[in-house]
Structure 1
């Protein structure tokens, strides 16, 4: 299948707003007002929120391509939209009354962590929450936080039906969360990825939910799709978008070098051939990734064997695309000169964002 360039899904003025504010976002450690205004106007934080809660409820392939495009525009921007809109997907599993109230806000934004770093001690008809979590992207803009907790009864861990500790997810108002500045890495600095704590917070059972297709309360295909492949695909698309941004900037540098007389004929040939080869190989894997994603989305749930194979292919191609993105960026980087090593340049910011996002553990291994 032929997959279009990420720029085709964004209006030029959108990309201009996103990129013109990227340097300030990096310096201040959070998205800027114009960027946020664009997000609210387009309702990108609600991409996966059910329609019944005034969300977009985008199909998975549509959403993934859009997120790739936003990451192409800017890594930090695309990452925040991806992680916060991904948390909006949880609305399909939340009790109806709570979800209806939370998502009626046009500026609703959920940040959080998938780590089970908290405890939820049973107390009457609710729970008392305690814990600390790292790296909640979009924390500065969030209206609510999601967190996973191990369920306790008194001092004892409650076991699930499978014999493992029972894990519940919770949605918490921002006012009940303590933010802690913790992001000190080389890239993705505009994501506002603060850590957060919850201390002795009493919540009702209606603030808990289980992220599992069997427990979806909105009966739509989007909420029956497995969370693992949804996460793998969205993260791979982010790396893909950033890699394409890097390739676009590298191509400009290559053209400048080819126009000068400093390189020999053989060196110019190496430059051209290297770029063309990497561009072709990356494009082929990107097409395979989207083919797998579309197939998994269109395969009926009752075709269990075919669906299982399709989902396995999403996992495989997500990891291969991430690997090829790393190889492509790293092989082009040495040819880009000191411009690519200067922290004041766009290509360096893209390089730092890409390699920081690429450290996500979900796509580190091929299996």
Structure 2
């Protein structure tokens, strides 16, 4: 099955048009610690879940620049909803590395949603025809609305060294632990999932090291540019649009309130007249621009390499993570400035900037997106040292 593929501009416009629904449901999602069902349906109707689905299943096979720009629009409306949409894109792409017959099963569900994790926090025992998995995964964003989960487990057998694998598991085989009680990205519903003696057939298992090196099992996707790029650069580029959107949302929230604000306990009856305000908004806006530059540079690198089918150098892989970390760092700095300039009244729960501040803080604490971790890794490679991680 194929469908007419919308252009990047059309998809960005669709995402922008979702803003009223997403904003309306943002407070509900935060209070209930999950994305509102109406928002999920709106994302599906707009084709947001099809961006990484192969064309033969009616998907759009969108490039990463499209993901960045679409997520930016979603993030301007609600960070949690944008985050979940972005997270779905990554395991959906990962599902496309599995054998084609496995994809036939996964993508038989219209607007299928696939959650996942890269943490090897479960164990797997070899059995006839596959493995039996036991373990728990935390921070599984979007699990509450997903049909499948990409898992990572360590296979331990009597006749081989332990080795990590990716697996595809129906959500109906997993238990959900409602433990998402957090200060930021509260609406994402990033609960934990548990496997208790779950059998995963061998065709739904891939060795993780091979995947990280770009060695995939799909034959039909092998020639498609978006599916011949290493996992970590793809994941990095898929994640940053939400962060840019949060930074832009902070600026929009600030400027919306600016005309009616003064600076209490000073002689400024209009905040817009204060030189301090001029310096704050200029610095914050430039940081948003810089964050968007790094997001687009990252997407350009990923898309260009995919089109060329070129090998990735170690430095390029490290720079992909460094760009992602810089987006997070600059966006948080911009949000902090806008938040500081918003005054005491901005801490009320009906003011979006307080939620934006907590959401961007949560993103910056994410293990894969942490600015300091990514900067150190890039600097390590620039200094000629070997990487101290497989996640490149």
> Common fold, TM-score beyond 0.5?
yes
Q: Deviations over 1:166-218 (max 9, x none)?
A: 21111111111000011111121111111010011122101212434222512
| 8 Å CA contact 2:263, 2:270 repeated in 1 | no
Q: How far 1:309 moved relative to its partner? A: 5.4
Q: Identify the residue that residue 356 of structure 1 maps to in structure 2.
A: 362
Query: Which of 261, 268, 273 is the matching residue for 1:263?
Result: 268
Alignment root-mean-square deviation, CA: 2.7
Q: Identify the residue that residue 102 of structure 2 maps to in structure 1.
A: 98
Distance 1:227 1:319 in 2: 16
Q: Number of aligned pairs?
A: 355
Q: Which stretch of the first structure deviates more once superposed, 17-26 or 326-335?
A: 326-335
Q: Identify the residue that residue 139 of structure 2 maps to in structure 1.
A: 135
Unaligned runs of 5+ in 1: 160-164
Whether 1:278 aligns to 2:284 is yes
Whether 1:324 aligns to 2:326 is no
- Secondary structure at 1:344 match in 2: coil
Q: Identify the residue that residue 162 of structure 1 maps to in structure 2.
A: none
Distance 1:258 1:92 in 2: 54
Residues 1-367 of structure 1 mapped to structure 2, 5 A cutoff: 9-10=13-14, 13-154=17-158, 158-159=160-161, 165-210=162-207, 211-212=211-212, 213-217=214-218, 218-219=221-222, 220-257=224-261, 262-263=267-268, 268-299=274-305, 301=308, 304=311, 310-364=316-370, 365=372, 366-367=375-376
Q: How far 1:344 moved relative to its partner? A: 3.3
Q: How far 1:285 moved relative to its partner? A: 4.1
| 8 Å CA contact 1:242, 1:350 repeated in 2 | yes
- Secondary structure at 1:150 match in 2: strand
CA gap of 1:140–1:296, structure 2 versus 1, over 3 A, is closer
Q: Which stretch of the first structure deviates more once superposed, 70-79 or 286-295?
A: 286-295
Q: How far 1:226 moved relative to its partner? A: 1.7
| 8 Å CA contact 1:289, 1:314 repeated in 2 | no
Distance 2:228 2:245 in 1: 26
Q: How far 1:259 moved relative to its partner? A: 9.8
Q: Deviations over 1:35-84 (max 9, x none)?
A: 11112212322321222233221111112211222122111100110111
Distance 2:198 2:297 in 1: 45
Q: How far 1:357 moved relative to its partner? A: 2.1
- Secondary structure at 1:93 match in 2: coil
Distance 1:94 1:242 in 2: 33
Q: How far 1:325 moved relative to its partner? A: 1.1
| 8 Å CA contact 1:168, 1:208 repeated in 2 | yes
Distance 1:31 1:363 in 2: 22
| 8 Å CA contact 2:76, 2:245 repeated in 1 | yes
TM-score if structure 1 supplies the norm length?
A: 0.88
Distance 1:196 1:303 in 2: 37
CA gap of 1:36–1:253, structure 2 versus 1, over 3 A, is same
Q: Deviations over 1:218-263 (max 9, x none)?
A: 2112121122122222323221111110111112233332699951
TM-score if structure 2 supplies the norm length?
A: 0.83
Q: How far 1:33 moved relative to its partner? A: 2.2
Q: How far 1:104 moved relative to its partner? A: 1.8
Distance 2:133 2:120 in 1: 12
Unaligned runs of 5+ in 2: 1-7, 377-392
Q: How far 1:308 moved relative to its partner? A: 5.8
Q: How far 1:105 moved relative to its partner? A: 0.9
Q: How far 1:152 moved relative to its partner? A: 1.5
Q: How far 1:312 moved relative to its partner? A: 4.4
